[in-house]
Amino acid sequence: MIFLYMIMIILVYGGMLILSLFSIRKTYQLDEFEPYEELLLSEYTKPVSILVPAYNESAGIYGSIRSLLSIEYPEYEVIIINDGSTDDTLEKLTERFQLVKINRVYRKLLETKSIKGIYQSKLYPHLVVLDKENGGKADALNAGINCSRYPYFCSLDGDSIIERNAFLKVLKPIIESDDEVIASGGSVRIANGCEIQNGELIKVGLSRKPIVLMQVIEYLRAFLTGRVGLSQNNLLLIVSGAFGVFSKKWVVEAGGYAHTVGEDMELVVRLHRFMKEKKVNKKIMYVPDPVCWTEAPDSIMFLRRQRKRWHRGLFDSLWKHKRLMFNPKYGSIGLFSMPYFFFIEFLGPFVELLGYILLIISIFTGSIQIEYGILFFLLSLIYGSIYSMAAVLLEEWSMEKYPKVRHFAILFLMSLTETLWYRPLTVLWRVEGMIEAIFGKKGWGEMVRKGVSND
């Protein structure tokens, strides 16, 4: 049963890899011909509100805001939501951007915690800081939506650095679709090891820590193979909370962000559900080229907390919308996407861990032939390392974000080792997250930011 399950997973991932390959091939080097400069002047370009929830983000918030203030986009506003930080986040923003308190219209479209004050920068009039009581990330984003003035908003993490033309690229499908596309997400890459000055990416680099390098590979696999493949047929259930653009009208009608650990995925699932129930033809897309650089955990302890939290968030979203599962009323979302995320993404770690345990027991008790043990290892190798190697090759062939041959060689060689140490660790952590989800554990868990910008 475990062998058959792993073969099914390999076939599904293989199919998504092939879809991604053809999709990226169609847009390969398209940037050289795409008239992004025309979008800067086009009357159809949508103004956007950039929402950045910040809770104790003092270490990296300044660089993140500097990167947002220098993006290439005709009309936008930046709204920082200080969600009751206990560090000097608000003080640092006030000092560096010369914030002054203002009276601004705040429409309570969504329920949130109380607002303490709204501030505007004397240096950058399109920079606004919303100070509120602590209510969590979802509450902060809902408050940002209430404060926003524009029809589209982008949610960003407080430790993120955006490439200058990323917004033109991620909003291009929305601009060209005549409102058929209501959400669009971009790629997220690891900033650890990169040279960043005052919120601008100066030079792409790699961290020297193996635990961070494996996350670089993991992100490449998740975004370049997984999300590209799902996005092709409007099957995408995740738009990363680190970099996603949404139609404010549709998000408000759907009820805004929910108070759950995985608020980004839950919102996307709810939007799909809302569209099907309203019988409207809307799309949620992923665009592989727009890149947001973010800080990754560089210690086992914090990475473990992150992965457990992600798996709990996955369970929350699936459980909250369980009526979609195998329900033909919801089309391909109910018949493919929901089963895929439940049986492969959610249950996959448990089955894989069970396979490891049974294999070890069987070898020591002599109840399994060595040939089956080798077969299981080879399946694990294909499931882990080989798909990671393919993602690294796809990155080098298409995006070319890592310019040096040395970077490519390091990532390729590291991907060979994934099955031997990194994947078993993440499998164990995700199973822990599964157990916590079943027993109803809440909360994010403390994460310490070091900051990726040298400012």
340-395 confidence digits (pLDDT tens): 999 999 999 999 898 888 878 887 887 777 777 777 777 777 777 888 888 888 77
CA atoms within 13 A on the CB side of 169: 23
Decide if pLDDT at 298 tops 80: yes
* Strands ordered across the beta sheet of 152-156: 99-101, 115-121, 127-132, 76-83, 48-54, 152-156, 243-247, 181-190, 283-294, 160-162
User: pLDDT (tens digit, 9 = 90+) per residue, 25-44?
Assistant: 666 554 544 555 666 656 66
pLDDT band at 326 (very low <50, low <70, confident <90, very high): very high
Task: Retrieve residue 388's tokens.
Answer: 């990671």
CA distance 441 to 12: 31
Cβ atoms within 10 A of the Cβ of 51, count? 24
Burial class from Cβ neighbours inside 10 Å (0-12, 13-18, 19+) for residue 49 reads buried
Q: Tokens 């090759």 identify what position? A: 393
Q: Tokens 């043990």 identify what position? A: 373
Phi/psi for 185 (5° steps) reads -120, 150
Decide if pLDDT at 435 tops 90: yes
Biggest CA pair distance of the chain: 75
Q: Using alpha carbons, select from 129, 26, 20, 146 the residue that is nearest to residue 81.
A: 129
Dihedral over Cα of 266, 269, 275, 276: its sign: negative
User: pLDDT (tens digit, 9 = 90+) per residue, 419-433?
Assistant: 889 989 999 999 999
First to last CA, the chain: 54
Q: Using alpha carbons, select from 274, 292, 295 the residue that is nearest to residue 284.
A: 274
Decide if pLDDT at 109 tops 90: yes
Q: Using alpha carbons, select from 238, 298, 258, 235 the residue that is nearest to residue 111.
A: 258
Say what the pLDDT of residue 10 is.
83
Say what the pLDDT of residue 27 is.
62
Angle at 259 between CA 275 and CA 285, to 5 degrees: 35
User: pLDDT (tens digit, 9 = 90+) per residue, 188-238?
Assistant: 899 999 988 877 888 899 999 999 999 999 998 888 777 887 887 889 999
pTM: 0.90
